[in-house]
Chains A and B, each alone.
Chain A
Amino acid sequence: MKLSDGAGAVGVEFALDLEAASSSVGPARRSVDAWLRARGHGSRSRRSVTLVVSELVTNALQASPGSTLGLRVTDDVERGVVQIAVSNPISGQAGLPDRSDWGPESPDAPRGRGLEIVASLASRVKERRGADRLWVLAEVPMFSTGGDS
């Protein structure tokens, strides 16, 4: 399937709608991992993508509990990146904070680690507001699969 999704990415896409509940995060991760494995991506790349998926889905479900979240993963082979797009209904939240505010307030703070992790793994992170949904998009570079299953 080659298409352009609602978030603007072009490539081979995995799409999933899920309930905004903590019980959805693990199955979403496993589904994306299985899809990437079937496409030949190694474990190192899959670990990066599933970690970003987990963080973005967690953020979205906390912003819109009980709603339906959108998850789109696009394998852009030409550019060597996987794009993860997660959406939730716009419900007055401000969206992503300024990039300078990503990360914990102090080195030992327990909160604020999710976007720090996403920023560490993704080469690009942005948000896109639709008519009624907020999309957060992250592009994760893929590693060579040499010896990495």
Chain B
Amino acid sequence: MAAESPTRLEIEAVGRRLRLSGDVDIHTAPRLADRIAQLATDDDVVVDLEGVEFIDSSGLRVLIEAHQQLLAAGSRLVMCSPSQVASSLFEMTGLQAQFHIE
């Protein structure tokens, strides 16, 4: 088990847009939270979820917290192009109606 590589998540940042590729779970979610937190809350943050191959409640938690922090500051967390796995998880948890999804 120890010889196997842990979860892979690549986060490509272009301005205020973060493009995710890989899996968002308890191992990688803190890094995503850090990257979002590095961006000031005075404008929208876009998270491109097209390359997300897996996401669970640990990833959802990061997105919800960022969504709420930006909303409180008058900005938005915009999730664009969610992959099928991300869309189905948003739908399963009722978050599709709360998130800004493009």
Contacts and interface: CB of A to CB of B under 8 A. Distances in A.
Given A110-B61, A117-B89, A26 B56 contact: no
Interface in A74-123: 107-111, 113-114, 116-117, 120-121
Interface size range on A against B: 20 to 34
Interface stretch (B12-20, B23-31, B39-47, B73-81): B23-31
Contacts of B4: 27, 30-31
Interface size range on B against A: 20 to 34
Nearest to B27: A22
B61 to A, nearest CB: 4
B57 to A, nearest CB: 4
A24 B23 contact: no
A26 B93 contact: no
Interface stretch (A1-9, A50-58, A128-136, A141-149): A50-58
